Structure 1
């Protein structure tokens, strides 16, 4: 029987590496945005215009991965390691096929996407180039995310986290040479010529692509060949294809995928609401989302620990652990993100200032970040409670909560407020919606856990 302190320590042990991984991943986008932001408002707006579309593709890949990693967590919890490895094999095959389909769709819609989103003619070309190059990451994102997810549910949080940090470092290095042209820099009073390709927006996307490639392949190698639990060489029976694993994955992933499709579709609609407000508003909107990500990534780190612990508890048929881990992770997430909300409110000017030297962008970005800061605790409740449900294999109703809240509350309110209050009105709508969504998830989780 685990004590409360032992459960809390276990949550922390699983959360910290995951939080570091989440934060470093966001830092990669933060660095991209900051480097491109130094080039001016138009390149920043070009990336900001198509970012929701790139998130959509990545989210769908993540949903497919989750359908298999949840099954692996359940089998590991039941100490059935051969079946866990079998599901893992199915996950790679199915996931790679799906990611290649997403890549094909991205290449087909890429040339027209900036026009559909309402971007001005001055940013349409850069937006298209960024989207097409960044879409090339898709299969490598699947490999990286699938490998990391499998290792995490097997209890190895450290290695995926360290690789995420490495990816961030590599992204900085690649971007430094790809975004900027050859230039002279001063280092300790010595003038040095620093080579560069001067690719601008395209360089930012290419740098991220190379960073993903350099991390995805070694991580997959370790998961497949070296992991004590998951290495395929431990299997003594010949691999056989079982459609039941695919069907089980689809039952978990399909509601999540539909949710991500409609949630990120809502983000695209939100971008269409923001686009007529001008390049400054587009850039400020994009930068504020990137800056806010640093504050809510701890919540996503705790949510990954929640998925792992709840999934293994369900697999072991330990309902007491299921309930206690659920509530402990939700309340820990709310406390951590309440603190991060305070940090975001106080340091909003500095967070935006690092991303753009343009005063108008800095002022607008600061004001909307401070609006959003008040919603962070309830945003945490929504993030972690949803992951608790995913760990238990319950994705349909939580997905409906997310979708209903996003489409019926956020977009409706944002559309009504944008014309009068501009971007500040859009972000006020976001803060209201996130707070209400968090309350709905707490209520849903309370009802659900009473029945278990």
Structure 2
């Protein structure tokens, strides 16, 4: 089914590199900025970190439908371009404009209106709830721009352009870090060698971090919309922006299962964290820091996922069964190999990685032990990530949703509940449940691909032609 000869196909490898390279770099930069962002807020104090972190799961939940509809737009554009139908690709991109406006306005109004109440629903004390609510409301104000950044970036990637989204997100992240530095801190002196330079600062604390995030979303959304509007293939300047009911239904039918998957995953994470909290403060601290530390080791997989979606969609549009199979398996092999190397590094140096985020020796030791557990499963997680990307590209999102939700709740949550509440296991047992979830998801997604369920979509497209 897959031979070494495929890896010698230079044209295929070049195209994978052109699409995946910028996306991997973008993931790396975003992770680095997230680390810096966390550190800057952490300097204010524990209360500030708690205020920002409290609504993080809600932020993921809000972003879910935006990313989901972006995947629907990406799949339709990639399939249309694979079939050589540039007009259909432009129309698919134009549907993204309506989705950005509709979702951006609707979700912006809802999130800002609910922001004062969400921290209390999450169990926050009154002193913390005010800062957390303000932070969430401010970051959600420019929701239209956030939607534009996500959906238009997906449209560009569907057209094979991952370089521009990478550069725009780089500019957005640099803007966020600089504004954080200026808005969080008060005016102070910056020592440069033997010279102390006076530096302006707003001293806004948590609200300064929120304003910095909001303004970076405005910049990113504006630049991404401009890049989409000027794109030679996608720009709707020639055909205009009109609702195409058939395409809109197709995008929504692809995006809705992805929305369900994101919601199920976010709710699962909330329940998962709640179960971990029963193990005590030490376990919860080690768990939270280890999860943050591990994010850097997902970079190759998630960076290459968009490339897998685009190339699978192109091959489906062409009706080329061999190309779809070979391209998907090649990306899977490369991602698994890269994440195997990352996993080896994680297994070898977990204490040093934990030491970046904490000086507590007990937290460091416990976190290092669970990082070694998850390091073994990194290649399998890579396979699951890429197979999910392939499902997204060919529009088989319902199967991906069923598998991901099933393993999250049936393996991770149910297993953790048994380990914590019945067998009274520790954090290592909980992370074994997380590894089991990733392993089962990998096996089920790969089995679905190997069995060739995606060939039905090739037959449907062939009949439509």
- Alignment TM-score, normalising by the size of structure 1: 0.91
Q: Which residue of 2 aligns with 1:218?
A: 223
Distance 1:438 1:247 in 2: 29
Structure 1 residue matching 2:173: 3-state secondary structure: helix
Distance 1:187 1:291 in 2: 31
Alpha-carbon contact 1:329-1:384 (below 8 Å) kept:
yes
Distance 1:373 1:450 in 2: 31
Distance 1:421 1:120 in 2: 30
Q: Which residue of 2 aligns with 1:289?
A: 291
- 1:250-309 Cα shifts (integer Å, max 9, x gaps): 110111111111111111222333455666655554443332222102101111111111
Distance 2:437 2:420 in 1: 15
Structure 2 stretches of 5 or more lacking a match? 1-5, 457-465
User: Which moved further from structure 2: 364-373 or 258-267?
Assistant: 364-373
Correspondence for 2:409 among 387, 396, 407: 407
Q: Which residue of 2 aligns with 1:326?
A: 328
Correspondence for 2:40 among 28, 35, 42: 35
Distance 2:256 2:454 in 1: 26
Distance 1:263 1:194 in 2: 43
Distance 1:193 1:206 in 2: 23
Q: Which residue of 1 aligns with 2:435?
A: 431
Distance 1:119 1:343 in 2: 38
Q: Which residue of 2 aligns with 1:5?
A: 10
Correspondence for 2:102 among 97, 107, 110: 97
Distance 1:350 1:154 in 2: 41
Structure-2 change in CA distance of 1:2 and 1:345 (3 Å): closer
Structure-2 change in CA distance of 1:450 and 1:229 (3 Å): closer
Structure 2 residue matching 1:194: 3-state secondary structure: strand
Correspondence for 1:232 among 228, 236, 244: 236
Alpha-carbon contact 1:60-1:257 (below 8 Å) kept:
yes
User: Which moved further from structure 2: 262-271 or 286-295?
Assistant: 286-295
Structure-2 change in CA distance of 1:426 and 1:444 (3 Å): same
Alpha-carbon contact 2:24-2:302 (below 8 Å) kept:
yes
Q: Which residue of 1 aligns with 2:463?
A: none
Alpha-carbon contact 1:38-1:355 (below 8 Å) kept:
no
Correspondence for 1:127 among 125, 132, 143: 132
Q: Which residue of 2 aligns with 1:372?
A: 374
Q: Which residue of 2 aligns with 1:184?
A: 189
The structural deviation recorded for 1:323 is 0.7
User: Which moved further from structure 2: 407-416 or 197-206?
Assistant: 197-206
Structure 1 stretches of 5 or more lacking a match? none
Structure 1 residue matching 2:198: 3-state secondary structure: strand
Structure-2 change in CA distance of 1:189 and 1:246 (3 Å): same
The structural deviation recorded for 1:70 is 0.9
Correspondence for 2:446 among 431, 437, 442: 442
User: Which moved further from structure 2: 128-137 or 269-278?
Assistant: 269-278
The structural deviation recorded for 1:16 is 0.6
Distance 1:141 1:252 in 2: 21
Q: Which residue of 1 aligns with 2:459?
A: none
Distance 2:205 2:360 in 1: 17
Q: Which residue of 1 aligns with 2:89?
A: 84
- 1:13-38 Cα shifts (integer Å, max 9, x gaps): 21111111122222222221121223
Distance 2:142 2:280 in 1: 29
Correspondence for 2:212 among 207, 213, 216: 207
Structure 2 residue matching 1:241: 3-state secondary structure: coil
The structural deviation recorded for 1:312 is 0.6
User: Which moved further from structure 2: 190-199 or 332-341?
Assistant: 190-199
The within-5 A match list for 1:19-58 is: 19-58=24-63
Distance 2:368 2:209 in 1: 24
Correspondence for 2:268 among 266, 287, 290: 266
Distance 1:414 1:137 in 2: 38
Distance 1:351 1:388 in 2: 32
Structure-2 change in CA distance of 1:133 and 1:233 (3 Å): same
The structural deviation recorded for 1:358 is 5.8
Distance 1:426 1:206 in 2: 37
Correspondence for 2:244 among 242, 245, 268: 242
Aligned length: 449
Q: Which residue of 2 aligns with 1:163?
A: 168
Structure-2 change in CA distance of 1:216 and 1:308 (3 Å): same
Distance 1:3 1:240 in 2: 44
1:348 aligns with 2:350: yes
The structural deviation recorded for 1:382 is 0.9
